[in-house]
Amino acid sequence: MIWSRRRFIQRVGSFSSVGALSVALPFETWAIGEEAGEVNASGSTPRFAYVASSDTDGGHIAVFTVTKERWNLVQTIDSRSPNALVLHPHRDVLYVANQVSEYEGLPCGTVEAFRIDAKSGELSLLKRQRLSLSGTNPSCIAISPDGRSMAVALDGGGAYNLLSLNDDGVPEQVSSIIKETGAGLHPEHQGSARPRFVLFDPMYQNLLSADLGCDRLSVFCVSDGEMVRNQHVNTVSGSGPARLALHPTNDVLYAASELDGSLSSYAYERSTGKIGKHLQRFAYSDASIKALPSHASLIVHPSGKFLYSSLSGSDGVITVWGVQRLTETLSPIQSFKVATKSLRGLHISQDGSELYTLSDVDDTVSRISIDKNSGELGSTRRQVEVIGATSIALKYT
Amino acid sequence: MSTTVTRQDARYDTLRKSRNLRWPSSGDEFASEVDLCDSEGDVAEVLQRVVSAGMRPTVRSGGHCYEDFVVNNPNGAIIDLSLLKQGRLPDERAQYTISAGQVLGEVYLDLYKRHGVTIPAGTCYGVGAGGHISGGGYGVLSRLHGLTVDWLSAVNILTVDAHGKVVRRRVSKENDPDLFKACRGAGGGSFGIITSFHCDKLPPAPQEIVEAHISFDWKDMTEARFIQILQTYGHYWETRGKDPDTWGLFAGLGLSHSSSGRLGIGLQFCNPDGTCKDLSVVNEFLDLFQHCKPIAGAANLPGDKKVFHDPKAPKECVGDHEIARHQWLEATIGGGGGGGEARTKYKSCYMKRNFTTDEAKIIYKRLTQEAPGVDLRGFVLSVDSYGGATNKLSLADETSRWQRSSVMKLQYQYYWRNAGEDDARLKWLHDLYADIYSTSNVDPRYTSTPYPGEYYEGCYINYPDADMLKYPFWTGLYYGDQYPFLQGVKRKYDPNNIFHHAMSVRA
């Protein structure tokens, strides 16, 4: 499909409900290897929603004000092939990873920082910052818990960049670069290192990462603008890890892989910042995934009781997992079929009552209710249509 | 045994720099370390450590890179090959070996004294062989003997495989021929670290050469006379200069700003047999300029190569012209060259045809106009003769130095000291260059550049100009139609893009 700015259409309001569809779980399961507390509901409805949209014109960010039922488009602002959005933890700044391979003729990607108007939610560009030479096609941004550092995974450049954020949250020059090497079983996808995801351990300044190209999870220690590799963990050969999520208690790490459609869990030793024992692994046995992998998404419910995954090859199924803290195991609760075959992202509302899904195939952001007790997904509402949607960020305060 | 110089080392501030004082552009761009290696084993060990640590390696042999490709390496490692001299030792598999760490002066001396042969390489004798030869390597003997890469039979190179392991390779027409071809002219910093070059055969060094100079005073210059000088010069290389008996003649026309005093022509000549018994070619060439009323003697231009103007050299006459005769080694080594440190900017162009009147008029206008606040005395446009043996078309396929149809090679050079003058000088040079390549000679799609076509053949990768990156077609200027081939080599031998800079081959 060719997208263009002209096709950027907002459709607000209720669309037909897809509803829940329970199907048999399509997994083979291998066992390899307490409750997190109540949800701190500081608000169920975000104030603003930001949706990145990438098209042949380059792309833009759509800004919505949010009421209980409606999203109202208040602004679209240009952005260079926006690929991932993330908010500063305590400043009114939105960051964008631009999936580009050139900037001013140089072989590098960029990140953008937008100031958020606290009243209207509207964005204004603060800075476009180039990444390291050969650091192309950034795929993910993470902001450190203290709001002082930005880490970027560079899918095209096989590298990680660390940038300092100034007092206003504006990114400065790249201060640290880690260039990765490696390859995997599938030359078409794994000819070289492809860092796809970064995630800060919220309690420590450790950066966790997933590298699809060389089947590797890594932990980096971040301090004083420097990033030092602390650990490499090899995943199953040919798996292609691409998404990570930490349990709210920070002692279990979940990894979704795109080339084999698998989900793994690992013990995470938060005091040492090391990935420990491989606890559990679920994988599709469908070889076709390797030929045509789709996006994987992963998110833990704020209560820590449930995990939601949309795995590569799952054909539009969101799996709800129960998290058994005593045994540190996952068990499937529900398979929930959504209307689209490929989900680009999952996002849970702050109070854990709603799951937002993002699809770049049928160009929708949908909202699905979550039963807080069982974790099961219920009624679905197509919230808004955004052509070429790639990422979403919800701002609550 | 390698030596790692870090920020705490007293040598760091000296070794982290480029000879072009514009680089590194800021403290944020400094490399973390400089690794001095004195054997191929050292280089392999250091490279493995650097790659495993996730650092970016850049490579330096002589330190003359015109752009920031080596020393702008934030938190990375500069692997310095300047102590790597083992290439002087005989290699049992090749007749002649040149280490990437040798400077050209050492190479000339070594090859001459051991074997009586030479390479047709450059006149800046402090330039490192690694960068110079990997980009083609041309100089005053190139019209007679071709480019240095034309003579290579094998190259030792370290690459990094997909899993991050350093691989030592000796590439040739038989082993990894695609990588061997890429190493013959595509420039440094794209595929791996070349540690030595090998040749089964090299041309004999000339026995002697003659040199001569004429110059023209700007005070007496008119536009018509200026055009006449340029077109007389260009016409010779486009016509008579193609005859093999002239291939021993190399000349440089130095076009300076009018505020500098003179512009001039310097030449070096030997007959194809390496002697100077028959100087009729020199006489014929110099005669062409008589109607332009030259002055005997050199113009003393910025960045001038001493080989062309040793004022103390004894003079003799050929016809009406004063020449100086030298033994070849003395002329080649004695001049030194390579320059000191300065802030510099360079641009280049291969010319397939003589200067058009429009081009000459633009150059004249620019060189006679003052630019408020800009000192133009540090500028020179060197118009070097080209062609002859460099234009053997079969070598365009055999090597990756694809420009094989040009008769002149232009190097725009600008030298200054004060960082505060950077912007004005860079803009002046940028505008001059854009002006010259915006005539009707240039396809409008490629305006402001010497894009390959009827008149031009792009730019020289050893004179890189990052200004060209703003054009989406910049790869066509430097790599020509070989770029897709080079991209394939890149993907095959450097899948993780370990070796990269702003103008390296991109996969």
Q: Tell me the C-alpha distance between A191 and A181, whole Å.
A: 10
CA distance A253 to chain B (A): 24
pLDDT band at B160 (very low <50, low <70, confident <90, very high): very high
Q: Tell me the C-alpha distance between B69 and B140, whole Å.
A: 27
CATH architecture for segment(s) B86-205+487-493: 2-Layer Sandwich (3.30)
Give the burial class of A396: count Cβ atoms within 10 A of its Cβ; 0-12 exposed, 13-18 middle, 19 or more buried. middle
Output the pLDDT for position A210: 98
Contact yes or no for B160 and A173 at CB 8 A? no
Whether a cis peptide bond, with omega within 30° of 0, leads into A241 is no
CB distance A323 to A331 below 8 Å: no
Q: Tell me the C-alpha distance between B149 and B390, whole Å.
A: 10
Residues 6+ apart with CB under 8 A from B158: B40, B43, B44, B47, B166, B167, B168, B169, B192, B193, B195
CA distance B494 to chain A (A): 9
pLDDT band at A362 (very low <50, low <70, confident <90, very high): confident
Tokens (6 digits) for A2: 């060719």
Tokens (6 digits) for B441: 């000679």
Contact yes or no for B496 and A192 at CB 8 A? yes
CA distance A175 to chain B (A): 8
CA distance B142 to chain A (A): 33
User: Which residues on A lie below 8 Å from B488 (Cβ)?
Assistant: none
Q: Mean pLDDT: which of A267-276, B118-127, B202-211 is highest? A: B202-211
Contact yes or no for B75 and A173 at CB 8 A? no
End-to-end CA separation in angstroms for chain A? 36
For chain B, list residues whose CB is within 8 angstroms of any CB belonging to chain A. Answer: 28, 51, 53-56, 74-76, 160, 162-164, 466, 469-471, 474, 491, 495-498, 500-502, 506
CA torsion angle B39 B44 B50 B53 (round to 10): -140
CA distance A308 to chain B (A): 33
Contact yes or no for B500 and A134 at CB 8 A? yes
pLDDT band at A36 (very low <50, low <70, confident <90, very high): very low
DSSP state of B473: T
Q: Which of B405, B354, B352, B143 is nearest to B234 (CA)?
A: B354
Tell me the average pLDDT across B418-429: 96
Question: Hey, which residues does B160 pair with through a beta bridge?
Answer: B166
Give the burial class of A326: count Cβ atoms within 10 A of its Cβ; 0-12 exposed, 13-18 middle, 19 or more buried. exposed
Whether pLDDT at A32 is above 90 = no
Question: Hey, which residues does B155 pair with through a beta bridge?
Answer: B171, B197
Output the pLDDT for position A22: 30
| Residue, of B434 and B313, whose pLDDT is higher | B434
Output the pLDDT for position B19: 87
Task: Give residue-wise pLDDT tens across range A213-269.
Answer: 999 999 999 999 999 999 999 999 999 999 999 999 999 999 999 999 999 999 999
Contact yes or no for A191 and B491 at CB 8 A? yes
CA distance B28 to chain A (A): 8
State the count of interchain CB pairs (< 8 A) between A and B: 71
Of B53, B466, B496, nearest to A193 by CB-CB distance is: B496
Query: CB count, 10 Å around CB of B316?
Result: 12
User: Which residues on B lie below 8 Å from A191 (Cβ)?
Assistant: 162, 491, 495
> For chain B, what percent of residues have pLDDT higher than 70?
95
User: Is the fold of B3-80 the same as that of B86-205+487-493?
Assistant: no
Residue of B nearest to A134 (CA): B500
Q: Which of B298, B268, B306, B310 is nearest to B285 (CA)?
A: B268
Of A133, A189, A215, A220, which to mutate for an interface test with B (greatest number of B Cβ within 10 Å)?
Answer: A133
User: Which residues on B lie below 8 Å from A193 (Cβ)?
Assistant: 496
Whether pLDDT at B290 is above 50 = yes
CB distance B418 to B21 below 8 Å: no
Whether pLDDT at A14 is above 60 = no
Tell which phi-psi region holds residue B447, choosing left (phi > 0), alpha (psi between -120 and 50) or beta: beta
Tokens (6 digits) for B461: 């990768």
Contact yes or no for B502 and A133 at CB 8 A? yes
- What residue ranges in B125-190 does DSSP mark as E strands? 154-160, 166-172
Whether pLDDT at B388 is above 80 = yes
Q: Residue written as tokens 């018509």? A: B224
Provide the 3-class DSSP secondary structure of residue B46: helix
Contact yes or no for B500 and A133 at CB 8 A? yes
CA distance A127 to chain B (A): 18
Of A106, A180, A214, nearest to B469 by CB-CB distance is: A106
pLDDT band at A341 (very low <50, low <70, confident <90, very high): low
Task: Give residue-wise pLDDT tens across range A176-227.
Answer: 999 999 999 999 999 999 999 999 998 877 999 999 999 999 999 999 999 9
Which phi and psi (to 5°) does residue B115 adopt? -130, -15
Contact yes or no for A107 and B491 at CB 8 A? no
Tokens (6 digits) for B418: 């004060």
Contact yes or no for B162 and A178 at CB 8 A? no
Contact yes or no for A179 and B54 at CB 8 A? yes
Task: Give residue-wise pLDDT tens across range B447-469.
Answer: 999 999 999 999 999 999 999 99
A287-296, B60-69, B236-245, B406-415: least confidently modelled range:
A287-296
A312-321, B130-139, B210-219, B395-404: least confidently modelled range:
A312-321
CA distance A87 to chain B (A): 27
pLDDT band at B255 (very low <50, low <70, confident <90, very high): very high
Task: Give residue-wise pLDDT tens across range B209-220.
Answer: 999 999 999 999
Task: Give residue-wise pLDDT tens across range A48-72.
Answer: 999 999 887 789 999 999 987 899 9
Output the pLDDT for position A17: 29
Contact yes or no for A191 and B469 at CB 8 A? no
Q: Tell me the C-alpha distance between B77 and A379, whole Å.
A: 56
CA distance A372 to chain B (A): 44
Contact yes or no for B56 and A177 at CB 8 A? yes
pLDDT band at A156 (very low <50, low <70, confident <90, very high): very high
Whether pLDDT at B318 is above 80 = no
Output the pLDDT for position A4: 35
CB distance B378 to B415 below 8 Å: yes
CA geometry: angle A170, A176, A179, nearest 5 deg:
130
End-to-end CA separation in angstroms for chain B? 34
CATH no., domain B208-477: 3.40.462.20
Whether pLDDT at B166 is above 60 = yes
Task: Give residue-wise pLDDT tens across range B46-74.
Answer: 999 999 999 999 999 999 999 999 999 99
Whether pLDDT at B329 is above 70 = yes
Whether pLDDT at B390 is above 50 = yes
Whether pLDDT at B480 is above 70 = yes
Of A192, A211, A231, which to mutate for an interface test with B (greatest number of B Cβ within 10 Å)?
Answer: A192
Q: Where are the domains of chain B?
A: 3-80, 86-205+487-493, 208-477
Whether pLDDT at B331 is above 70 = yes
DSSP A260-294: S--EEEEEEETTTTEEEEEEEEEE---THHHHS--
Element (H, E) at B25: none
Tell me the average pLDDT across A99-109: 95
Q: Tell me the C-alpha distance between B303 and B416, whole Å.
A: 11
Whether pLDDT at B307 is above 60 = no
Tell me the average pLDDT across B422-444: 96
- pTM score: 0.91
Q: Tell me the C-alpha distance between A94 and A88, whole Å.
A: 6
Contact yes or no for A177 and B74 at CB 8 A? yes
Output the pLDDT for position A191: 94
Residue of B nearest to A107 (CA): B502
pLDDT band at A20 (very low <50, low <70, confident <90, very high): very low
Contact yes or no for A133 and B56 at CB 8 A? yes
Of B51, B498, B500, nearest to A107 by CB-CB distance is: B500
CA torsion angle B21 B27 B31 B33 (round to 10): 100
Contact yes or no for A133 and B55 at CB 8 A? no
Of A107, A178, A183, nearest to B163 by CB-CB distance is: A183
Output the pLDDT for position A29: 36
Element (H, E) at B254: strand B249-256
pLDDT band at B293 (very low <50, low <70, confident <90, very high): confident
Tell me the average pLDDT across B384-390: 97
Q: Tell me the C-alpha distance between A149 and A176, whole Å.
A: 11
CA distance A247 to chain B (A): 29
Residues 6+ apart with CB under 8 A from B219: none
pLDDT band at A291 (very low <50, low <70, confident <90, very high): low
Correct CATH for B3-80 of 3.40.1520.20, 3.40.50.300, 3.40.50.980, 3.30.43.10: 3.30.43.10
Q: Tell me the C-alpha distance between B198 and A288, whole Å.
A: 49
Whether pLDDT at B145 is above 60 = yes
Contact yes or no for B51 and A104 at CB 8 A? no
CB distance A392 to A49 below 8 Å: yes
pLDDT averaged over chain B? Answer: 93
From residue B128, give the alpha-carbon distance in Å to each of A144, B35, B101, B105, B179.
Answer: 45, 16, 6, 9, 21
Output the pLDDT for position A343: 83
Contact yes or no for B506 and A107 at CB 8 A? yes
Tokens (6 digits) for B468: 């060209």
Output the pLDDT for position B120: 97
Output the pLDDT for position B310: 58
Tell me the average pLDDT across B397-405: 96
Contact yes or no for A177 and B506 at CB 8 A? no
Output the pLDDT for position A5: 33
Output the pLDDT for position A18: 28
Of B28, B75, B162, nearest to A192 by CB-CB distance is: B162
Output the pLDDT for position B87: 52
Whether pLDDT at A25 is above 50 = no
Task: Give residue-wise pLDDT tens across range B81-116.
Answer: 999 986 555 566 778 999 999 999 999 999 999 999
